[in-house]
Chains A and B, each alone.
Chain A
Amino acid sequence: MNPVNYLYLAALLFTIGAAGVLIRRNAIVVFMCVELMLNACNLAFVAFSRMHGNLDGQIIAFFTMVVAAAEVVVGLAIIVSLFRSRHSASVDDASLMKL
């Protein structure tokens, strides 16, 4: 199968993720959409790696997974602390500083 199709899939997943970040209102869901974007990047890396016949892209995909895992740790800590103090994870409710 032509690896270019995987690039289209990656772009589609990335767009879905980006749209989700902009549309969804729950911080956890927004965060999951960001993770979807990162995974779309991984797919693009691996597809390009296949096209170019070198391993750089596959190695980078591993780095991305590690970074994404670290981001989950930090992100969930922040979102959970927000949820515990407000009993809501909605990003619309977080508007203390709105002018």
Chain B
Amino acid sequence: MSASAVHSLWTTVAAPGAEGGFTAPHIEYAQLSPTLIVVGAAVVSVLVEAFVPRKARYYTQLFLSVVAVTAAFAAVVALAAGGYGTTKAQIAAEGAIAVDGPALFLQGTILLASLVAVFTFAERRLDPDAHGNRVDSFAAQAASVPGSESEKAAVKAGFTTTEVFPLMLFAVAGMLVFPAANDLLTLFVALEVFSLPLYLLCAVARRKRLMSQEAAVKYFLLGAFSSAFLLFGIALMYGYAGSVSYARIASVVDGTVKQIDPALADTMGNDALLLIGGAMILMGLLFKVGAVPFHMWTPDVYQGAPTPVTGFMAAATKVAAFGAMLRLLYVVLPGLRWDWRPVMWAIAIVTMLGGAIVAITQTDIKRLLAYSSIAHAGFILAGVIATRPEGISSVLFYLLAYSFVTIGAFAVVTLVRDAGGEATHLSKWAGLGRRSPLVAAVFAVFLLAFAGIPLTSGFAGKFAVFKAAAEGGAGALVVVGVISSAIAAFFYIRVIVLMFFSEPKADGPTVAVPSPLTTAAIGVGVAVTLVLGVAPQYFLDLAGQAGVFVR
């Protein structure tokens, strides 16, 4: 007797269809491959921490991270070349993730920025050797108390925190999903997936560890606070529309929704749910981009975090968060634009002016760059407000340009050192141009790009964003933007003057000779800055082609 015949002796088949009614979800693995590659590599990377001998971990992790990020970037390029950014744009994973132009463009930007950031993470020649072991920017053992015996033992044994590589890969994975999220639940989960590793990365600096831990606590508490607001906003939005899917919410907001049941009819008449919910979700996103008045964490965290982490965070988080904000405002809430535009106007104005004005008073180079990043968030917001196709493409271009300048600038900050580690106080940068002209010149290029001087990527980006804003009827915003650019230019130029036209101090810092890793990071930064500044048209066209969301 066959097995099934035996089985049928004491069982009977239920009526057909009884076990039906459930269809397995259809997952488009090929379209999701960039994220899947990075997540897979992150998981493997955790296993590497567990099983690979300590000596070999650094090289294994570095190799794995570079390969994963490169492969994911190749996957993004392949998808874009296959037309998924334009004609074949679609919503994958049962409505959770959008595969379209902006998503692919931002994912490509995040991956390129992460690749450069991996190089700065892996730099091990800046600090002098400790007990014959090369050290990187991260604590020997993050769990040991600063200055304790266990820390000394860890340094002596040559431990390094190679866990930063898996943490970074997880953060990158979250960032890849964040601008592509097509429902509010995916948005929230992606936000947490990239935030939690960043909190930890902030806490693991080798030097100034108390400051680093303090930065991590501040970032964590404020980040958790803001994500609670985001989540409550999602709850209210779900209450309003009865769904967390972007398309569904958009149709309820527009009033074009079919099939209105009594519960939906009841809640969709309640504008308070929609307005408060939308505002709270936006608040969470504005916190992540560091817009005034949600910027309080930025200077402290940027200053306290290990500088390679700061560069990564400043560049990649901003790209991911602005991507998510664009999708939210352009796909979900275009029907509400008469409500959110005035609010975003106000936020953009205070962000631009606030960031630029407070930056003038800063005396620490990392804090200065932090306030500059706040001002830049304001400039990008001007493009977001445009609510035109050019608004999307100009923001995409600006984010591409800005991320490389930022990582490059923070990489230069890691080079200028004295006995206590990085010499971040501005007074120590006096006369740097006399002592090491090349490093100072490179930093000057980055500062000019931040300031938006022509022939740098900053100018092309700002021009695109302001043009879009002006055409979108936000002329006054452009005037404020230009004024705050002028204010910002003042303190960038002041640093350049300080570096080149003042006498170096006798006990000034030295400029460390980096390994090819950091050199490559800075070189890529300068190259992208100049190429995007001199010949931006190709990339503007690329961003223009990518500037259509799928709904």
Contact = CB atoms under 8 A, between A and B. Distances in A.
Interface of A: 7, 10, 14, 17-18, 21, 27, 30-31, 34, 37-38, 40-41, 44-45, 47-48, 51-54, 56-57, 59-60, 63-64, 67, 70-71, 74-75, 77-79, 81-82, 84-86, 91, 94-97, 99
A91 B209 contact: no
Interface in B217-253: 217-218, 220-221, 224-225, 228-229, 231-232, 234-236, 238-239, 242-244
In order of increasing CB-CB distance, the 3 nearest A-B pairs are A37-B228, A48-B239, A44-B235
Interface string B204-216: 0000011101111
Residue picked from A10, A38, A74, most chain B C-beta under 10 Å: A74
A70 B217 contact: no
A31 to B, nearest CB: 7
Interface residues of B, number: 48
B458 interface: no
A57 B209 contact: no
B263 interface: yes
B267 A70 contact: no
A48 B235 contact: yes
Contacts of A86: 210
B217 A63 contact: no
Contacts of B361: 99
B200 A60 contact: no
Given A31-B224, A40-B232, A79 B196 contact: no
Contacts of B235: 10, 41, 44-45, 48, 57
B300 interface: yes
A53 B263 contact: yes
A97 B224 contact: no
Interface of B: 142-143, 145-146, 185, 188-189, 192, 196, 199-200, 203, 209-211, 213-218, 220-221, 224-225, 228-229, 231-232, 234-236, 238-239, 242-244, 261, 263-264, 266-267, 299-300, 303-304, 361, 367
A92 to B, nearest CB: 12
8 contacts: A10-B235, A41-B232, A41-B235, A44-B235, A48-B238, A64-B231, A78-B213, A94-B218
Given A14-B232, A48-B267, 12 more contacts: A37-B225, A37-B232, A44-B239, A48-B239, A52-B239, A56-B238, A78-B216, A81-B142, A85-B209, A94-B214, A94-B218, A97-B211
B263 A85 contact: no
Contact of B221 (A10, A31, A77): A31
Given A34-B225, A34-B228, A52-B267, A96 B211 contact: yes
Contacts of A96: 210-211, 214, 304
Nearest to B199: A74
B192 A70 contact: yes
Contacts of B228: 14, 17-18, 34, 37-38, 41
A99 B199 CA distance: 22
A12 to B, nearest CB: 12
A3 to B, nearest CB: 10
A78 B299 contact: no
A99 B371 CA distance: 13
A97 to B, nearest CB: 5
Nearest to B301: A97
A30 B221 contact: yes
B460 to A, nearest CB: 34
A21 B243 CA distance: 30
B179 to A, nearest CB: 19
Given A14-B232, A52-B264, A56-B244, A81 B143 contact: yes
B239 A51 contact: yes
Contacts of A99: 361, 367
Contact of A75 (B146, B211, B220, B242): B220
A95 to B, nearest CB: 8
Contact of B217 (A14, A41, A45, A94): A94
A57 B145 CA distance: 43
Contacts of B243: 54, 56
A74 B188 contact: no
B192 A85 contact: no
B225 A84 contact: no
A82 B196 contact: no
Contact of A71 (B143, B185, B192): B192
A68 to B, nearest CB: 9
Nearest to B235: A44
Contacts of A71: 192, 196, 224
A18 B280 CA distance: 13
Contacts of B145: 84-85
Given A91-B217, A94-B218, A52 B242 contact: yes
Residue picked from B210, B221, B261, B264, most chain A C-beta under 10 Å: B221
